[in-house]
Chain A
Amino acid sequence: MTAGPALDPMLPRPYRIRRVHRETHDTFTFELAPAARGEGCSFAPGQFNMLYVFGMGEVPVSISGDTASSPSLHHTTRAVGTVTRAMQALKRGDTLGVRGPFGSSWPVDEAAGRDVIIIAGGIGLAPLRPALYHLLAQRKKYRRISLLYGARTPQDILYRHELEQWRGQFDLDVHVTVDRGSSEWNGNVGVVTKLIQRAPFDRSSAVALICGPEVMMRFTVMELQKHGLPLERTYLSLERNMKCAVGFCGHCQYGPLFICKDGPVFRGDRVAGLLGRAEI
């Protein structure tokens, strides 16, 4: 995979919104295409872009689509602040600025030949989806693949249609749970860590990919350790506010780590000492 001509990481490139999918009441997925031909860029699963809304600002958003669909980009965003709320109001045909891709990626190559357990909490499923696509596209390279996904309520489940399709596959284990059920929900109710016991994996070689709120990741790591999976084979995707995404503005520092360039994907042993600490 080669990138296009040398792209300045400091300058946003205009991308047009080709499609908008409202996933839930506050979460939406954009399909973006470069406004200028030849300005697309390939990416690795787990990386993110800085998305710019004209006159409002930029936010880091993980790429949530298939690497194979490059130069098209998919981004799943939740409207929680000024910029993301402005983004939510954009429509098909509108333009966004894109800088990136930035950051480290999921170890999809290193996981070859192993069981892979993917654990997602809330919108954490978005940065993990490209990894799942990659694993499924080269299914034979991997052993058992499990997807464990915890959402807030049944109405907050992302990629519902795809999840149902994945659940139907024989070579993929999918378990979904919600923190709070509803009268129509007959599935699991409870935290996603409880699903870990349902995903059998070879503790001597399996790899876990985890993304979600920090507390959820912390407890998930602990639960995995109880099941014999060491930190060296556990990967997390962390987040912090970012201004530059290239390691210059200093905002995303987490201990000595820059989330934008040392992460956002980290191997468990690198961040274990920082995870539970207050105000780091």
Chain B
Amino acid sequence: MIQTLEKIIAEHPFFHDLPPHNLQLIAGCAKNVRFEAGQVVFHEGDEADQFYFIREGLVAVELMIPQRGFTTVQTVGEGEMLGWSWLLPPYRWHFGARALQPVRALVFDGKCLRTKCEEDHDLGYEILKRFTHIISERLDATRLQLLDLYGAHA
């Protein structure tokens, strides 16, 4: 059964308690998208005009390091949101992203949503609240990774 995008979005905790008219608007900015394993989702430095909700598969958030090549700093998987650079100037990706496995995702038109948020601050606040939460969780996780707790002298 093909679910409408609105329904899929509404089910995800990220979009909980969004007023229905906001939900509709956001669903209107969304599209289904697929990536093959190994395919680049976005390049570091490109214009960040979208964000993704990963429905299936695994995406590597990566950085190009000259001596090391592309290095994955974190992976984002099923049920997770990918990308917040579209929210903040200069609206460019700080990292790259590549599908490690076949990925099914929803892609949201960040540029359009940005404009709407400027017009409707209530909507803007709802979006920012949710993305701040994600950023906070990623920061916690990053800090823990940094600690190298499993290292020999943790």
Contacts and interface: CB of A to CB of B under 8 A. Distances in A.
A and B: direct contact (Cβ < 8 Å)? yes
Interface of A: 26, 78, 80, 121-123, 150-152, 156, 177, 179-181, 183, 185-191, 193-194, 197-198, 212-213, 215-216, 219
Tell me which of A123, A179, A197, A198 has the highest count of chain B C-beta atoms within 10 A of its own C-beta.
A179
A212 B78 CA distance: 25
A187 B141 CA distance: 17
Interface string B10-22: 0000000000000
Interface in B74-102: 74-75, 77-79, 100-101
B145 A80 contact: no
A191 B152 contact: no
A215 B78 contact: no
A219 B147 CA distance: 13
Contacts of B60: 181, 186, 189
Contact of A190 (B68, B69, B141): B141
Contacts of B149: 121-122, 179, 212-213, 215-216
Contacts of A150: 150
A152 B72 contact: no
A198 B144 contact: no
Nearest to A122: B150
B153 A80 contact: yes
A179 B150 contact: yes
A158 B72 CA distance: 21
Contacts of B73: 181, 189
A189 B75 contact: yes
A126 to B, nearest CB: 12
A219 B142 CA distance: 13
A156 B150 contact: yes
Contacts of B145: 179-180, 190-191
Tell me which of B77, B144, B150, B151 has the highest count of chain A C-beta atoms within 10 A of its own C-beta.
B150
B150 A190 contact: no
Interface in B32-81: 58, 60, 68-75, 77-79
B75 A187 contact: yes
Nearest to B153: A80
A182 to B, nearest CB: 8
B44 to A, nearest CB: 16
Contacts of B144: 191, 193, 215-216, 219
A155 to B, nearest CB: 11
Contact of B72 (A151, A189, A212): A189
B154 interface: yes
